[in-house]
């Protein structure tokens, strides 16, 4: 089975996982070794600068936030209207990185043999054979596609890249859980992080509960006292449990576990992007600006509710990153339940 994660523009999306210019170039720059002979094609100076910035941001957040010791092995592919560039180690190391470049002639080629036109997209794909790769078009494609952001396109695209790259890291953990649940319940290969929303969004009470949960969790994250944070988070968690127990019953009970994993993957990706945007070494936005521009942007429940869950979790708990960005032993709901049982 082949799985793909949703892009931020809601184009076909990792594990069926997935749809924003302040010119603050990241301070850390990394040496890149080009293969010889000279590359068959090159990006523009502006697109090349963005790729360097995005990769630098990845190494910075991995060093300071996620602290993933074993990034794993996967390819990264960036492309513009004419050229695609690929590396198998750009996100794994900072020095002596090897890139290969080739003209794609209007059809971007993926390592597993799939292909697509050079359009606005950003996703991680994991195949049944265990091959994982991250693909993203560069800013010139997004700009030509009419994508804009109040914080600037290049700045918005960095957290998009961080979100999707994290899915590549999570492929052996939460990704495998998604695969197992899809197979266990005989769900279609196309079942993705937005499928639960597609099933239940016409249920007005269900939809209203999701939005109320997001609001309560964000209030918990921003509460001035620990007691208020815990009270609000418990209220949101109780609403979520009630929503599951009211509508995810009978045959629909199978969606509970898979929704939990999707919330974990999408929420952690959103939280990581938000963290970079609101950091002094990253986007340098205020937390409120980063929430509006990225964290709660869009209409997708998996991203909005997932992000709110991680915001509340981060307010209440320490060291949850080892699970969400590392071993994947616990989902966000399990992590939040643990946090609500303990005093920070």
**319 — pLDDT class (breaks 50, 70, 90):** confident
As given in the structure block, the two tokens for residue 309 are 């869950």
Locate tokens 């994947």: which residue?
Answer: 328
Task: Using the predicted structure, report yes or no on whether residue 160 has a pLDDT greater than 50.
Answer: yes
Tens-digit pLDDT profile for residues 38-84? 677 999 999 999 999 999 999 999 989 888 767 777 899 999 999 99
Confidence of residue 244 (pLDDT cuts 50, 70, 90): very high
- Residue 333 and residue 218: Cα distance in Å, rounded? 15
- pTM value is 0.87
- Which phi-psi region, left, alpha or beta, contains residue 86 (left: φ > 0; alpha: ψ -120 to 50)? beta
Helix ranges, the chain (H): 45-61, 139-144, 153-170, 176-184, 195-200, 204-221, 226-247, 255-277, 287-290, 301-316, 321-322, 332-341
Looking at per-residue pLDDT, the higher value among 2 and 159 belongs to: 159
Check residue 196 and give its pLDDT.
97
Whole-angstrom distance, CA of residue 163 vs CA of residue 27: 21
Q: Terminal CA-to-CA distance of the chain, rounded, Å?
A: 42
């Amino acid at each position: 089975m082949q799985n793909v994660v949703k892009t931020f523009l809601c184009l076909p999306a990792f594990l069926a996982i997935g749809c924003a210019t302040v010119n603050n170039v990241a301070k850390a720059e990394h040496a890149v070794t080009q293969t010889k002979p000279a590359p068959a094609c090159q990006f523009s100076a502006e697109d090349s600068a963005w790729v360097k910035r995005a990769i630098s941001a990845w190494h910075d957040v991995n060093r300071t936030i996620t602290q993933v010791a074993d990034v794993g092995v996967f390819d990264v592919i960036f492309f513009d209207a004419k050229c695609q560039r690929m590396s198998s180690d750009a996100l794994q190391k900072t020095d002596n990185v090897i890139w290969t470049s080739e003209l794609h002639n209007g059809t971007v080629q993926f390592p597993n043999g799939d292909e697509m036109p050079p359009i606005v997209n950003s996703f991680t794909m994991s195949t049944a054979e265990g091959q994982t790769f991250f693909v993203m078009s560069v800013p010139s494609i997004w700009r030509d596609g009419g994508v804009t952001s109040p914080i600037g396109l290049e700045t918005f695209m960095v957290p998009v890249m961080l979100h999707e790259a994290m899915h590549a890291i999570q492929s052996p953990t939460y990704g495998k859980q998604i695969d197992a649940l899809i197979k266990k319940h005989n769900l279609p290969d196309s079942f993705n992080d937005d499928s639960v929303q597609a099933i239940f969004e016409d249920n007005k009470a269900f939809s209203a509960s999701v939005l109320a949960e997001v609001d309560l969790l964000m209030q918990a994250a921003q509460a001035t006292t620990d007691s208020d944070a815990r009270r609000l988070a418990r209220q949101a968690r109780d609403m979520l449990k009630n929503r599951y127990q009211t509508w995810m019953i009978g045959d629909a009970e199978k969606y509970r576990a898979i929704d939990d994993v999707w919330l974990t993957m999408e929420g952690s990706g959103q939280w990581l992007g938000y963290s970079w945007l609101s950091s002094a070494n990253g986007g340098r936005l205020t937390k409120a600006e980063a929430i509006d521009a990225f964290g709660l942007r869009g209409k997708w429940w998996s991203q909005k509710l997932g992000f709110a869950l991680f915001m509340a979790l981060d307010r209440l708990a320490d060291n949850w990153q080892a699970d969400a960005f590392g071993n994947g032993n616990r989902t966000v709901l399990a992590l939040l339940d643990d946090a609500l049982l303990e005093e920070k």
